[in-house]
């Protein structure tokens, strides 16, 4: 289902500079402000489009839980509102996940894409993980049961709250439902269909989106290259901003020369 972008106000947005449009998509639980340390270095020759995604920063959350496909549709609609037909894209973590769907769903909308510690590969479930999910669901069933004393229901609810991930515990309502939808989507089937050059940048100490995910993306995306930042974690672009910007500048400039 496509996102109904007219149901929410336009994004809280930084739109500056002139030249080829460059769209920045931030990760889950943060805002576009985390891109501030690299914007000046990447501004020359670019129009920088840096939104807070719905539910983060100063952009209101959606009315109902969204999947990554609704976020991709929202980003495409944002470009329409800004009069941008084609852009380059830098996506970090969940922003990379959105970028993958956007490039696959709207061919030609994204010219070149940089994925930094991108999400999108769903971890394979282990027996221990399956057991944890089942126990969590059992706690929620106890919490909702009218046949169980209130004290036990409340205790089950508190126990379940403590067992969710940090991201899950940090949100509620619509955004909690959004997180559940997003993390349960595996995008690996889309990767072979990406018809654009993709630069993958990964920290070798990334524990949120492991380096193996980046290697898998490099194998599955037809035109992809992987650069590993030694000693960096999930926010490699912030840990080594100078190196990140130099590599990205060369990647985007090569595309301009080819065009």
The answer for 57, left when phi > 0, alpha when psi is -120 to 50, beta otherwise, is left
Q: What is the model's pLDDT at position 165?
A: 54
Residue 6's pLDDT band (cuts 50, 70, 90) = very low
Tokens of 172: 């509620």
pLDDT higher than threshold 80 for residue 87: yes
pLDDT at 1 over 60: no
> Residue 172: which pLDDT band, with cuts at 50, 70 and 90?
low
Q: Which residues of 18-42 are buried (b: 16+ CB within 10 A; e: fewer)?
A: eebbbbbbbbbebbbebbeebbeeb
pLDDT band at 257 (very low <50, low <70, confident <90, very high): low
Q: What local confidence, expressed as pLDDT, does residue 244 receive? A: 98
- Please check the confidence at residue 149 and state whether its pLDDT lies above 90: no
Q: Which pLDDT value is given to residue 162?
A: 59
Give the pLDDT score at 148: 77
Q: Is residue 35 within 8 Å of 24, Cβ to Cβ?
A: yes
DSSP annotation of 3: -
Over 70: is that where the pLDDT of 131 sits? no
Query: At 59, is the pLDDT very low, low, confident or very high (cuts 50, 70, 90)?
Result: very high
The pLDDT-based confidence of 5 (bands split at 50, 70, 90) is very low
Confidence of residue 2 (pLDDT cuts 50, 70, 90): very low
* DSSP-based three-state secondary structure for 152: helix
The residue that leads in pLDDT, 177 or 9, is: 177
| Burial category of 68 from C-beta neighbours within 10 Å (exposed 0-12, middle 13-18, buried 19 and up) | buried
The mean per-residue pLDDT over the stretch 18-29 comes to 96
pLDDT in the model for residue 34: 95
Q: Is the whole model's pTM more than 0.95, yes or no?
A: no
* Per-residue model confidence (pLDDT) at position 8: 47
The CATH number of 5-122+185-258 is 3.40.50.1820
Does the structure show a pLDDT above 70 at 133?
Answer: no
3-state class percentages of the chain: helix first, strand second, coil last, to nearest 5: 45, 15, 35
pLDDT exceeds 90 at position 199: yes
36-47 tens-digit pLDDT:
999 999 999 999
Domain borders along the chain are: 5-122+185-258, 127-172
**In the prediction, which pLDDT does 218 show?**
98
Mean pLDDT of 96-106: 98
């Amino acid at each position: 289902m496509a996102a109904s972008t007219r149901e929410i106000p336009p994004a809280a947005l930084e739109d500056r500079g002139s030249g080829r449009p460059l769209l920045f998509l931030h990760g889950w639980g943060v805002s576009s402000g985390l891109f501030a340390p690299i914007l000046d270095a990447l501004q020359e020759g670019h129009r920088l489009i840096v939104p807070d995604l719905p539910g983060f920063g100063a952009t209101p959350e959606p009315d109902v839980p969204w999947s990554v496909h609704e976020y991709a549709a929202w980003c495409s609609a944002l470009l329409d509102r800004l009069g941008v037909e084609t852009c380059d894209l830098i996506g970090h973590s969940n922003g990379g996940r959105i970028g993958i769907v956007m490039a696959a769903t709207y061919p030609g909308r994204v010219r070149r894409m940089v994925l930094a510690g991108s999400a999108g590969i769903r971890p394979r479930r282990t027996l221990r993980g399956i057991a944890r999910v089942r126990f969590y669901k059992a706690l929620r069933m106890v919490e909702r049961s009218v046949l169980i004393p209130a004290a036990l229901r409340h205790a089950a609810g508190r126990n379940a709250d403590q067992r969710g991930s940090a991201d899950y515990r940090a949100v509620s309502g619509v955004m909690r439902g959004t997180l559940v939808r997003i993390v349960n989507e595996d995008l690996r089937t889309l990767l072979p269909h990406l018809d654009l050059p993709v630069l993958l940048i990964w920290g070798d100490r990334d524990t949120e989106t492991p380096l193996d995910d980046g290697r898998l993306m490099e194998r599955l995306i037809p035109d992809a290259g992987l650069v590993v930042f030694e000693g960096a974690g999930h926010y490699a672009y912030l840990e080594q901003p100078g190196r990140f910007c130099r590599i990205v500048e060369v990647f985007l400039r090569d595309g301009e020369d080819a065009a």
